[in-house]
Amino acid sequence: MSKKYAELTLDGVTHSYPIIQSTQGENAIDISTLLRDTGHITLDRGYVNTGSCTSAITYLDGKEGILNYRGYAIDDLAENCSFVEVAYLLLHDDLPNLEQLNDFRELMSTYALIHEDMIHFFDHFPPNASPMSILSTMVNSLHNFYPEMSTHPEPFESFDNVTTRLLAKVRTIAAFSYKKSLGHPLIYPRYDLNYCENFLNMMFDKPTKPYTILPEVVSALNKLLILHADHEQNCSTSTVRLVGSAGVNLYASIAAGINALWGPLHGGAAQAVVEMLEGIYADDMDFEKYIRKAKDSNDGFRLTGFGHRVYKTFDPRATIIKKACDETLAALNVDDPLLDIAKELEDRVRSDDYFVSRNLYPNVDFYSGIIYRAMGIPTDMFTVMFALGRLPGWIAHWREMNSDEERRIGRPRQLYIGYPAKKYIPLDER
Ligand code: CMC
């Protein structure tokens, strides 16, 4: 196929830039020589239109509402796979066969404990410390305890050790931080439980009241983790890549991603949604007040759980989560007024021209918090749950970036709008 070029004419001179073909979706104009050719940079606030890398992990079509991991549709994966299978898929090229899956699971069990010295770290956070701050601190510290291979992902066969260690330990850290926040004894991971069962057991089992692991809860958690497992170049994943591009080790890069995820515009949204729905409930269901505020450009308030940078139609993950929310609450016999409020709010938003004209649909965070509530997960841990799910995606992107022979340190440009050069004035003359 002959190469295509885009032309840019500036000050009467025409420059050509090669079009790089994707395997699916948008192609890209390679403008890497633009500055050298023209003395200009591009300005693209929030990277709305800027590709920072090539990637073979996730395909997302925001107009059609399509999300595929390594070619597989998200609904197929959410319906049929375990989270561990999907983690393997993201980190390798394809789904595992039975033997590969069993080996991967075995490694996960092998690495599920955290070094006992790390457990002392939990004792030194204030009682109201944010679980996200604890998580990023603990993940950063993992490099001191497990430095092997965390600076470069080769040889690839051995990288499964690093991946499973991180996946298993983050799950343990998340559950331990909850137990510590309650002042309860820690419940250790068990060999006989699968990934989701183990997490739920570590969270909720007590010496005084054994926890019953319900298949409905395991299935809902499994689905939520799969749906969060990757989403191409979002804020936290791009952070992992950017930090990692400086040669930073895996754990520190992932800790940076955890911090980026914390924000209410990103992974913190599920918690913000539940708090917003509780606010509407406490406010005598005054939906119109919240909708009015969200539409007022002078009011910073937004309807959290609506809108997405890339999706301009239904977020396919939100559609699956809404259905799972109904199923899980029914199976657990939970009657949560927040679910009715969420549905009513969605109906009102979907018939309001402000939201319709801006393509603001419910996103992945709109219904997920209601499922977590039904499982007994506290609101301030919702973003930790997102991090657990997103972990394989972050690791896969860190690995892909580090294995890319054309990688370069991430270094955006800026358009300077400060003072032109000024003459220095000595202190006694100012
Ligand atoms: N409520 C009210 N108005 C909104 C909302 C909202 N949730 N989202 C976007 N808008 C309006 C915005 O005011 C703007 O209007 P106008 O054109 O009149 O200025 C227009 O829609 C476009 O918004 P934008 O801020 O330019 O869009 P963005 O792509 O920069 O931001 C977003 C995307 C997700 C940050 C934004 O939609 C938002 O703040 N949503 C609420 C927070 C949220 O739910 N975040 C979770 C996102 S999904 C999980 C994840 O990937 O992290």
pLDDT tens digits for 350-378? Answer: 999 999 999 999 999 999 999 999 999 99
Name the closest-CA residue to atom 34, ligand 1.
308
Specify the ligand 1 atom closest to the Cα of 266: 52
Name the closest-CA residue to atom 50, ligand 1.
266
Q: Which amino acid is at 178?
A: Y
pLDDT confidence of 2, banded at 50, 70, 90?
Answer: confident
312 lines ligand 1 (CB under 6 A): no
pLDDT confidence of 159, banded at 50, 70, 90?
Answer: confident
pLDDT confidence of 25, banded at 50, 70, 90?
Answer: very high
Specify the ligand 1 atom closest to the Cα of 236: 52
For the stretch 96-110, pLDDT in tens is 999 999 999 999 999
User: Domain residue spans in the chain?
Assistant: 5-51, 74-265+384-403, 269-375
Nearest residue to 179 (alpha-carbon basis) of 141, 123, 96: 123
pLDDT beyond 90 at 128? no
Domain 5-51 shares a fold with domain 74-265+384-403: no
315 lines ligand 1 (CB under 6 A): no
pLDDT confidence of 151, banded at 50, 70, 90?
Answer: confident
302 lines ligand 1 (CB under 6 A): yes
Name the closest-CA residue to atom 51, ligand 1.
266
- Whether residue 238 contacts residue 400, with contact meaning beta carbons closer than 8 Å, is answered with no
For the stretch 394-422, pLDDT in tens is 999 999 999 999 999 999 999 999 999 99
Predicted TM-score (pTM) of the model is: 0.95
Name the closest-CA residue to atom 11, ligand 1.
358
Q: What is the 3-state secondary structure (H, E, C) of the chain?
A: CCCCEEEEEECCEEEEEEEECCCCCCCEECCCCHHHHHCCCCCCHHHCCCCCCCCCCEEEECCCCEEEECCEEHHHHHHHCCHHHHHHHHHCCCCCCHHHHHHHHHHHHHCCCCCHHHHHHHCCCCCCCCHHHHHHHHHHHHHHHCCCCCCCCCCHHHHHHHHHHHHHHHHHHHHHHHHHHHCCCCCCCCCCCCHHHHHHHHHHCECCECCCCCHHHHHHHHHHHHHHCCCCCCHHHHHHHHHHCCCCCHHHHHHHHHHHHCCCCCCCHHHHHHHHHHHHHHCCCCHHHHHHHHHCCCCCCCCCCECCCCCCCCCHHHHHHHHHHHHHHHHCCCCCHHHHHHHHHHHHHHCCHHHHHCCCCECCHHHHHHHHHHHCCCHHHHHHHHHHHHHHHHHHHHHHHHHCCCCCCCCCCCCCCCCCCCCCCCHHHC
Assigned CATH class of 269-375: mainly alpha
Cα 66 to averaged position of ligand 1 atoms, centre (Å): 19
For the stretch 262-308, pLDDT in tens is 999 999 999 999 999 999 999 999 999 999 999 999 999 999 999 99
How much of the chain exceeds pLDDT 70, in percent? Answer: 100
pLDDT beyond 90 at 127? no
For the stretch 311-356, pLDDT in tens is 999 899 999 999 999 999 999 999 999 999 999 999 999 999 999 9
User: 331-337, long-range: CB within 8 Å, 24+ apart, which pairs?
Assistant: 331/214, 331/216, 332/214, 332/216, 332/217, 332/374, 334/374, 336/370, 336/373, 336/374, 337/281
Name the closest-CA residue to atom 12, ligand 1.
358
* Distance separating alpha carbons of residues 372 and 380, to the nearest angstrom: 11
360 lines ligand 1 (CB under 6 A): yes
> For 129-155, what is the mean pLDDT?
87
- Please identify every residue annotated as catalytic: 308, 365
Q: What is the chain's mean pLDDT, rounded?
A: 94
pLDDT confidence of 1, banded at 50, 70, 90?
Answer: low
> For 79-104, what is the mean pLDDT?
97
Specify the ligand 1 atom closest to the Cα of 366: 44
How much of the chain exceeds pLDDT 90, in percent? Answer: 93
The CATH architecture assigned to 5-51 reads Single Sheet (2.20)
Superfamily of segment(s) 74-265+384-403? Citrate Synthase, domain 1 (1.10.580.10)
How distant is the alpha carbon of residue 278 from its chain centre? 24
For the stretch 178-202, pLDDT in tens is 999 899 999 999 999 999 999 999 9
For the stretch 34-46, pLDDT in tens is 999 999 999 999 9
304 lines ligand 1 (CB under 6 A): yes
| Residue 428: predicted pLDDT | 96
Cα 265 to averaged position of ligand 1 atoms, centre (Å): 8
> Which structure tokens are listed for 165?
């260690």
267 lines ligand 1 (CB under 6 A): yes
Cα 373 to averaged position of ligand 1 atoms, centre (Å): 24
260 lines ligand 1 (CB under 6 A): no
Least confident range of 56-60, 151-155, 233-237, 366-370: 151-155
363 lines ligand 1 (CB under 6 A): yes
